[in-house]
Structure 1
């Protein structure tokens, strides 16, 4: 999922409004939603490697980040993470590995049937952890989260479903920036260029905005003959207009004090005549392409910027100038919602994901993941795991 645009429910419209991933850039059964995280205690014993007392490698400069080598014992929770949950994400990264990690992929695949102890021992023998810090400024990091919405839609417009989701118009590359969100809905010339380009129709314009913010989603489409099918809408481009947070617009207008989903929803219910004004405050629109969602595809998320399917709870969006795609990363983030200490993989990006210690955590799909993603905004520390 190309998340070169800004990135759950409308809580995301503020939380993720500040956050992203392409992303983005999930499912044995389409309805299933994996548990995004499992809280970890903060007082776990360190993972001590016997004989790990030799000199450490020197620092590495990567873009605007500095990597400083550390001992494995400095990675909080490393001895307790169920690594088998992360291994599928690592195997996915090996479908399109970077040149530095590609030589490890044969061993990674072989260890897919190994025990957690075997996997941990191999990582210690083959990788060196480096703490990621900015070259300048505060070392405080930020973790947000994104997800894949799942919505009901119709193939054709109806009285109840009249909000279109478009594939890119033929003239998209001929005009930069393309028409704004408001112009697409009001100008005859813009509407003419979108004629026949709708993939499906939703009942709620706010759902459409959330889908565009996330960059991809799943639709349960009711076809013209009454049958239903599950498809994925993947990111296919934008109108190149600037992204503006509708939550920030409400705050700046003095219309709400509670920029959360309940607060925004309450305002929408009380001001239905101003919904277009709210939506038009964000001129940016995302276009999609429809993808068949096979049973195998349904077990993973959309493809991230690395070009591999995202794994819930194990894929993150990063600034690729600071952390290259495909890099295994140790993530530690204390917060009221979740204590995260786990192995993840840099497989996506987003325009709001900039800086050395910045990540967007892929939570999965559906309402549960959306609720989680809309609430996560907490401190972050990152360590890249680089081949020795």
Structure 2
């Protein structure tokens, strides 16, 4: 953790908008993953949660709000589950493969994105899960790490993260800003997609700027009405799940969000996911749901604010520096 880490235990009265939230909705999401938490204090809380009928009283009785800061300002972004058009069979329309992970990619770092695609090293090896029609959408599917493919032959195929080539993710949005193509406030996923499509040759090179390459697996055990699997291997929930940095926030912990910006948000969420770009005590990615509209909303989000983790009471006070309890 950062050397300038600060920890404060707050009162629930200090959480802006706490009394106005739908605590029962957050409680049901918390129950989805609390049974998978291994530490004894979390297990005791989960056991106590069974049969509870007053969600707000449960959270206030069992937890204390803890503000953890590492010197970096709070930042909220969004993510979503993309939905792509595709097929299980290659054709002129559906020409871009979604690959499973080859064994040799476990030797990290493996080949870069450019080397994988330009040298066709995965072709003909039976690693193709499906084929999609848009390489730009495929690139963003890799950034999100999971998605749905609406099959041309009927039905929906769900894919989830299986692994990566071991190269560090590099933002192509930041690269466009560095080049002076856009100002930072202008960049969103849709802006990037449109620029790449308008400029196919430099656009292809821009995608190669990110050497990271993600591989997928077919997900068959998640019902269509449920969200994709998060880092806890459970379905995530739109507008109640966040991705966090587990170095600061325990996976499965309730987290109070105070997001600023044009559309302020005050809501209790649950830390059920992680992401390679989510680093820091005050950094979170909000899950917006599935499909294009969720993608538009998630892509526009880049707002300041603060997040407060709800911790078991004894653990909360144990986090305070010596002499501050």
Q: Report the TM-score, using the length of structure 1 for normalisation.
A: 0.74
Aligned mate of 1:323, from 234, 246, 249: 249
Contact 1:326 1:345 in 2 (8 A): yes
Q: CA deviation at 1:254?
A: 3.6
Match for residue 27 of structure 1?
Answer: none
Aligned mate of 2:280, from 349, 355, 366: 355
Aligned mate of 1:119, from 55, 59, 72: 55
Where do 5+ consecutive residues of structure 1 fail to align? 1-60
Match for residue 297 of structure 2?
Answer: 372
Match for residue 214 of structure 2?
Answer: 286
Does residue 67 in structure 1 map to residue 7 in structure 2? yes
Aligned mate of 1:179, from 100, 111, 118: 111
Cα separation, 2, equivalents of 1:300 and 1:62 = 36
Secondary structure class of the residue paired with 1:236: strand
Instruction: Within 5 Å, give how 1:8-157 maps onto structure 2.
Output: 65-99=5-39, 100-111=41-52, 114=53, 118-134=54-70, 137-138=71-72, 140-157=73-90
Contact 1:240 1:284 in 2 (8 A): yes
Cα separation, 1, equivalents of 2:253 and 2:150 = 34
Cα separation, 2, equivalents of 1:276 and 1:208 = 13
Cα separation, 2, equivalents of 1:262 and 1:324 = 32
Match for residue 22 of structure 1?
Answer: none
* Structure 1 pair 221–197 and aligned structure 2 pair: CA distance change class (3 A): same
Cα separation, 1, equivalents of 2:178 and 2:142 = 22
Cα separation, 2, equivalents of 1:268 and 1:220 = 23
C-alpha offsets along residues 53-112 of structure 1, whole Å, 9 cap, x if unaligned? xxxxxxxx999743311221101111110112212211112231242221122332312x
* Structure 1 pair 300–380 and aligned structure 2 pair: CA distance change class (3 A): farther
Does residue 213 in structure 1 map to residue 143 in structure 2? yes
Where do 5+ consecutive residues of structure 2 fail to align? 314-325
Cα separation, 2, equivalents of 1:212 and 1:269 = 18
Q: Report the TM-score, using the length of structure 2 for normalisation.
A: 0.88
Cα separation, 2, equivalents of 1:64 and 1:348 = 25
Cα separation, 1, equivalents of 2:225 and 2:122 = 37
Q: How many residues align?
A: 310
Does residue 204 in structure 1 map to residue 134 in structure 2? yes
* Structure 1 pair 260–331 and aligned structure 2 pair: CA distance change class (3 A): closer
Q: CA deviation at 1:204?
A: 0.7
